[in-house]
Amino acid sequence: MDEQNPAFIAFAEWYLRQAAILIGAAEAGFFLILGNDWNRRFDCLVHLRNDPATPAVKEQARQAFIDLLAPCVKAGKNGVLETAPAVQNRVSETRGPQYCLVVLIRGLDTAPVAVATFIVRSADLEEARDKMRIVALYSPSRRR
């Protein structure tokens, strides 16, 4: 896979934006899986955020995504990981826990070649899993 291919990068960004809108994600990332089982690394092709974060904060967020997605890649499975508890906002409305959704993008041989990650708030784990299933259903590696 040519990670420098502008068409591929444009596709990755399009997919992330569409999926993020669909599930109401606050942040998303698309990472290529490089290396092998003994020397695996992840290259962030696209990182979307809707805030004016500094470059240092964005780099910390990308590293946090990598820390969360690495075990999912190792296990060969999509994941839903709680990253923050529910919060109550200023008008006494409770917002559900925050989750990181990890969706493996598989190549023709079914091995993962990339990973899409999304930060979402959901009422509970089941709702977060539903969002992950929606994103996985529309991922580029969807089995037909």
Q: Specify the CATH number for the domain of residue 74.
A: 3.30.450.40
What is the per-residue pLDDT for 91? 65
Q: What is the pLDDT of residues 56-67, one digit of tens each?
A: 999 999 999 999
39 falls within a domain: yes
31 falls within a domain: yes
pLDDT at residue 144 greater than cutoff 50: no
pLDDT at residue 141 greater than cutoff 90: no
- Confirm whether pTM is higher than 0.75: yes
12 falls within a domain: yes
144 falls within a domain: no
17 falls within a domain: yes
Binned at pLDDT 50, 70 and 90, residue 2 comes out as low
1 falls within a domain: no
For residue 52, the enclosing domain spans 6-137
Number of domains in the chain: 1
Q: What average pLDDT does the segment 104-121 reach? A: 89
118 falls within a domain: yes
CA distances from 40 to 16, 101, 109 (A): 23, 20, 18
Alpha carbon 7 to its chain's center: 20
